[in-house]
Amino acid sequence: MTPLLDKAIRVRFSGTVPTTTPSPVTMTYTVFGNGQVRVDSTLQPGASNLPYIPEVGTMLTLPSQLETLTWYGRGPEESMLDRKTATDVGLYSGAVADQVTRYLRPQESGNKTDVRWASLTDDAGNGLLVSSDTPLELNASHYAPEDLSRIMSRNGQHWYDTPARQEVVLRVNEHQMGVGGDDSWGAAVHDEYKLFANHAYSYSYSLTPITAGEDPMALARQSVAADLVTDLRVDGETVPGFTAGGGEYAYEVFSGSPTPAVEVETAAGVVVDRGDVQVPGSYQVVATSADGSRTETHTIAFTSTDTAYLSDRAWVSATSGWNGVNRDVSVEGKPLTLGGAAGPTAYPKGIGTHAVSQIVYDLSGLDVSTFSAVVGVDQEVPANARSSLTFQVLLDGVEVFSSGPMDRGTEPKPVEVDVHGAQQLTLVVGDSGNGNQEDHADWADARLTAAAG
């Protein structure tokens, strides 16, 4: 729980959906002094090959008195992701009890799509407003999904033995899967209307108390922006650990790089106060809401380092003969391990690749003095392996280091190359002319050193 000044608090929950590979869920509730609650939720499917998801959303149970549903979205009939054509976006209202379509057999019904806001109010006109910046799906009824599935699994399956709940079951959904059935044979749902498990699902909405006489349309428009700073980027990437609402971050800058550029993205009308980036130094972003009622502070502590590991940097291009180019691990995903007289030595940083391999780095714009590494055959290959390979370093296309043929028993070789003024660094692993079988190459501890500042 995070207090956001004295005007709001934020409560974060995280949990998992027990899919075969568990899927993390986070829900953040920001409660404002005016009674409004903003809900931000993200579901991250645990594996992209999980079955597609029937429904992503939140289910709330509301008091039975909130029997009048008014919504701005598709209506007046139910609509689904793949069944919208018979409905238009507009303002509709009706009793919660009437939102169920009494199909011959009790089943899921009453879904609304493209909903900008909806209110659930009592006879006096007081209740709850649900609103969102992005259209959501919504379903309000006196049946929970499990009520219907319980009935559907029984013989008979009649509405009359389907007891309605007193309370209102409200589902606020990112989406529900389409229904399919283009033909009368039960055609499957088209792919574009399925919720695949190959990406995260995020959605947000606000819950606001509404009293008789208040205009829900106007109230929905005023929904409070929970986050003043929506993104904070250093050199184009969101700062690691970025926390909506404010936070403190550590960021190490390679002293051979230009001063990093910081970009701040905010909600509408937010005023940002910030200084110049200094490395090392503390960089503070203070954001104030348009009405001046709230502020939010993000602080980046920039530190400086003279060493830049190549495995932490982006390459221009990278190829390998088998199993990719690996950052900080061997070709087989193990710790980078070189042999030699001193016995096996593991390196926490470096690049594991397989002949034939070429990795190109752009050095333009950097103020660097040296490229260094220790090269050799990774000890993960068996003692009798046929491994035989060569390491080569090119600067702007000109060879500046060549290892000659190396096998599993060859003493690892240190590389130290002066790179002052070079624009391009190329690391090549050749197969030494006997094919690339078992040619597991390590550029252990591969790093750039900044020129003395």
Q: Which residues bind Ca ion (CB under 5 A)?
A: 388, 431-432, 434, 439
Smallest gap from residue 434 Cβ to Ca ion (A):
5
Residue 133's CB is within 10 A of a number of other CB atoms, namely: 13
Query: Which CB sits closer to Ca ion, 23 or 379?
Result: 379
Please tell me the number of Cα atoms within 13 Å of 240 on its side-chain side. Answer: 6
Smallest gap from residue 445 Cβ to Ca ion (A):
23
Dist CA 99 CA 93 (whole Å): 10
Residue nearest to Ca ion (CB): 431
For residue 226, what are the CA distances in angstroms to 6, 323, 326? 14, 44, 40
Query: Which CB sits closer to Ca ion, 40 or 438?
Result: 438
Smallest gap from residue 313 Cβ to Ca ion (A):
28
Query: Which CB sits closer to Ca ion, 99 or 388?
Result: 388
Dist CA 339 CA 205 (whole Å): 57
Smallest gap from residue 284 Cβ to Ca ion (A):
54
Smallest gap from residue 362 Cβ to Ca ion (A):
29
Dist CA 229 CA 333 (whole Å): 38
Dist CA 406 CA 347 (whole Å): 19
Dist CA 176 CA 139 (whole Å): 10
The amino acid present at 201, given as its one-letter code, is Y
Query: Which CB sits closer to Ca ion, 132 or 388?
Result: 388
Dist CA 372 CA 392 (whole Å): 12
For residue 223, what are the CA distances in angstroms to 89, 117, 255, 299? 21, 11, 44, 27
Smallest gap from residue 330 Cβ to Ca ion (A):
16
Query: Which CB sits closer to Ca ion, 378 or 439?
Result: 439
Query: Which CB sits closer to Ca ion, 163 or 409?
Result: 409
Residue 230, burial from CB neighbour count under 10 angstroms (0-12, 13-18, 19+): middle
Smallest gap from residue 338 Cβ to Ca ion (A):
17
Query: Which CB sits closer to Ca ion, 111 or 432?
Result: 432
